[in-house]
Amino acid sequence: EAQANAGTRIYSQSDLQVGDLVIFYGDQHHVGFYAGGGQVLHAPHTGAFVRYEAIGNMPFQFGVRI
């Protein structure tokens, strides 16, 4: 959650750039990296392998550019 306040917020998915943090869920408990092409790099849960996933598979809140 602290990462959500670390940089400049980006509210439009179309403005995301590769490497931006992507914040999901209303309580901001999940963070990934924008990988471009509508893909996010993230670990879906504790113990899971890091993987690419479509950004639309989770409730996008905003991005953060550090």
Average pLDDT over residues 24-45: 95
Domain-embedded: residue 8: yes
Domain-embedded: residue 1: yes
Domain-embedded: residue 13: yes
Which structural domain range is residue 6 located in? Answer: 1-38+58-66
- Cβ-based burial of 20 (10 A; exposed 0-12, middle 13-18, buried ≥19): buried
Is residue 19 over pLDDT 80? yes
Report d(CA 41, CA 19) in Å as an integer: 9
Domain-embedded: residue 48: no
Domain-embedded: residue 45: no
Tell me the pTM. 0.91
Tell me, what amino acid is at 58? M
- Model confidence over 35-62: pLDDT tens digits? 999 999 999 999 999 999 999 999 999 9
Domain-embedded: residue 4: yes
Is residue 1 over pLDDT 80? no
What domain count does the chain have?
A: 1
